[in-house]
Every structure is written in C-alpha cells, then in structure tokens.
C-alpha cells in the first residue's frame, strides 16, 4: 500500500468538531446542502459536482431499503470513515 492510499489517522475529537461545524440544523446528520454550505463557507476550492460525488461516496456502504434513503444525511460514522480515507477524485494528496 502506498503512502497515498494509506488511511489517515485523525483523532475522533477532530472529526467530532468537523461534524458539529457542518451539522448546522443539529439533527445528527450532515445533509448535502449542509456539506455544500460548509465547503463554500470554508473557502475550499471544490466544484459542486465534486462535493456531490464526495457525499455519494461517503454514503455508498449504507444499507438501502428505500430509494429516499440514498439522500439521507451522512451520519457521524460515515463522516468519520470518509475523512479517514482518501477521496478518489483528489489527485493532489
């Protein structure tokens, strides 16, 4: 496994702070709109379609019973797993 593919070791406290900063409606889920808002507010230079793809990638392993569940906000665990990994569209790190 190359260094680029190795999981990142991010303390849970850091992920909790990130989750709380993004989850503005305090429903314990990060919606696609909240994620877009956070990216825009933080000034991270990502296109909207890249943010959409990141959201879908973070939620891809959840059990889907109904189509509407694909669009539910991300849980803390999904965010924790997503930030630990490497996003496939990121070719810089």
Query: Which domain does 38 fall in, by range?
Result: 12-84
Q: What angle do CA 89, 92, 93 make, to 5 degrees?
A: 95
For the chain, the domain total comes to 1
Domain-located, residue 7 = no
Lowest-confidence pick of 3-7, 25-29, 76-80: 3-7
Strand intervals (E) in the chain: none
For residue 2, tell me if it sits in a domain.
no
5 domain residue, yes or no = no
Looking at per-residue confidence, does 62 or 92 come out higher?
62
Check residue 93 and give its pLDDT.
45
Residue 4, domain member (yes or no):
no
State pLDDT tens for residues 50-80.
Answer: 999 999 899 888 887 787 777 799 999 999 9
Domain CATH number, residue 38: 1.10.238.10
Does 92 reside within a domain? no
Is 6 within a domain? no
Map residue 30 onto helix, strand or coil. strand
Give domain status of residue 17, yes or no.
Answer: yes
């Amino acid at each position: 496994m190359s260094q680029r593919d190795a999981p990142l070791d991010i303390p849970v406290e850091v992920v909790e702070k990130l989750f709380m900063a993004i989850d503005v409606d305090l429903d314990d889920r990060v919606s696609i709109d909240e994620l877009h808002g956070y990216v825009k507010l933080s000034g991270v230079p990502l296109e909207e379609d890249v943010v959409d793809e990141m959201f879908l990638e973070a939620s891809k392993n959840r059990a889907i019973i109904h189509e509407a569940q694909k669009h539910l906000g991300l849980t803390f665990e999904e965010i924790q797993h997503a930030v630990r990994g490497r996003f496939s569209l990121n070719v810089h790190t």
